[in-house]
């Protein structure tokens, strides 16, 4: 395949629209509609499940089933308590970082539409500088400009409303994609691009391919846990993000050494089936795709774990996209890494033999 950019103008337009759209955990359906609309020309059919996981299928009648997967949800907040002065207190929906919240703008999603607000924070002049109080869940509050609780409720805001950040897509220095929710809407984008390449290059696969965009990963891999029992795959190749560890304040002795721009990351972990991982490495080497290695101890912390341990054991592997500033509103990835993850999944699918068991005991 060419080393020129894989991404078309249509691809990039979709990516920007997809990242900018809010898809908080448990409320992913609008983003899934965008994703399925983009994917539709490249697949034979779709399935969806009760909680909103979406799957585009190529060769739906094939017995042998291969999943390529990303997750659709982004971290967010819930309205948890409204006091009499109209201040709104929150709890996490996924791993939202309390330290980045003060002074951030927010969108509160209500049945009446988006209500704008801000995470308020006392001015530096008024804080006790001898004993600074850090941002914590119990002192974070949102101000939507209302005088009291009754006024807040008239705006349509109530306990259980989900809250997202409005920060949108931008490109830094021509090749760094920056946005909230790159974890892991970029995964959904990359697997959709694999389907596009298969279609445009007229590649006929001998097996069924299930391009899977799972919900609720950020609260415990729940969407993958559900959909794997519906599909009952033979193989699962998962893509998610991992940490660039070369920015300040990260200990490489603990986190390993991974850097954006250096290629996809191939994980070693108990949940990763060794023969499938070696096929991925072989595919990278044959296609001259740069890659990095990462070791995970007990779990990968990704949907790989849900697929691997389902249905009596599914051959599963993880191809990660290096990311800076995870779970902030300025998550950053390198365009070359995005394209090389796409290339690597594509190359692996073309090398994957129909009905391969990946057994260690052949």
CA atoms of 240 and 247, how far apart (whole Å): 20
> DSSP code of 168?
-
Could you give the maximum distance between any two Cα atoms of the chain, in Å?
71
Both tokens of 69, joined, read: 């997967």
Q: Give me the tens of pLDDT residue by residue for the chain, a chain 362 residues long.
A: 344 689 999 999 999 999 999 999 999 999 999 999 999 999 999 999 999 999 999 999 999 999 999 999 999 999 999 999 999 999 999 999 999 999 999 999 999 999 999 999 999 889 877 788 899 999 999 999 999 999 999 999 999 999 999 999 999 999 999 999 999 999 999 999 999 999 999 999 999 999 999 999 999 999 999 999 999 999 999 999 999 999 999 999 999 999 999 999 999 999 999 999 999 999 999 999 999 999 999 999 999 999 999 999 999 999 999 999 999 999 999 999 999 999 999 999 999 999 999 999 98
pLDDT of residue 4: 65
Backbone phi and psi for residue 100, each to the nearest 5 degrees, phi listed first: -90, -5
Distance from chain centroid for Cα 303: 10
Asked if the peptide bond before residue 184 counts as cis, ω within 30 degrees of 0, the response is: yes
d(CA 70, CA 192) in angstroms, rounded, equals: 10
At 3 the pLDDT is 46
Could you tell me which of 351, 318, 326, 311 has the C-alpha nearest to residue 243? 326
- The answer for residues whose C-beta is within 8 angstroms of residue 220's C-beta and 6 or more apart is none
Q: Is the pTM of this model over 0.95?
A: yes
Q: How many residues does the chain have?
A: 362
Structure tokens at 77: 């907040």
């Amino acid at each position: 395949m060419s080393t020129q950019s894989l991404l078309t103008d249509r691809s990039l337009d979709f990516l920007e629209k997809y990242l900018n759209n809010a898809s908080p955990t448990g409320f992913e359906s609008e983003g899934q509609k965008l994703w399925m609309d983009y994917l539709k020309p490249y697949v034979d059919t779709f399935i969806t499940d009760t909680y909103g996981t979406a799957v585009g299928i190529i060769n739906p009648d094939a017995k042998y089933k291969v999943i390529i997967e990303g997750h659709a949800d982004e971290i967010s907040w819930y309205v948890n308590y409204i006091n009499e002065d109209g201040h709104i207190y929150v709890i996490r929906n996924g791993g939202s970082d309390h330290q980045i919240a003060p002074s951030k703008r927010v969108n509160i999603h209500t049945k009446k539409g988006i209500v704008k607000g801000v995470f308020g924070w006392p001015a530096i002049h008024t804080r006790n500088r001898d004993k600074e109080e850090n941002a914590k869940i119990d002192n974070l509050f949102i101000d939507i400009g209302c005088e009291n609780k009754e006024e807040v409720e008239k705006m349509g805001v109530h306990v259980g409303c989900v809250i997202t950040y409005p920060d949108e897509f931008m490109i830094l220095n021509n090749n760094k994609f920056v946005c909230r929710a790159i974890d892991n809407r970029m995964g959904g984008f990359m697997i959709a691009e694999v389907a596009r390449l298969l279609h445009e290059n007229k590649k006929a696969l001998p097996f069924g391919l299930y391009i899977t965009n799972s919900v609720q990963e950020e609260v415990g891999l729940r969407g993958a846990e559900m959909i794997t029992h519906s599909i009952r795959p033979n193989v699962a190749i998962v893509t998610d993000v991992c940490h660039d560890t070369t920015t300040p304040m990260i200990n490489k002795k603990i986190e390993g050494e991974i850097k954006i721009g250096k290629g996809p990351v191939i994980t070693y972990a108990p949940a990763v089936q060794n023969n499938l991982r070696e096929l991925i490495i072989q595919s990278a080497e044959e296609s001259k795709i740069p890659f990095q290695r990462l070791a995970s101890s007990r779990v990968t912390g990704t949907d790989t774990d849900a697929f691997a341990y389902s249905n009596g054991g599914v051959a599963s592997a993880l191809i990660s996209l290096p990311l800076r500033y995870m779970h902030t509103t300025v998550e950053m990835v390198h365009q070359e890494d995005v394209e090389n993850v796409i290339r690597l999944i594509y190359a692996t699918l073309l090398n994957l033999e129909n009905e391969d068991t990946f057994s260690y005991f052949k």
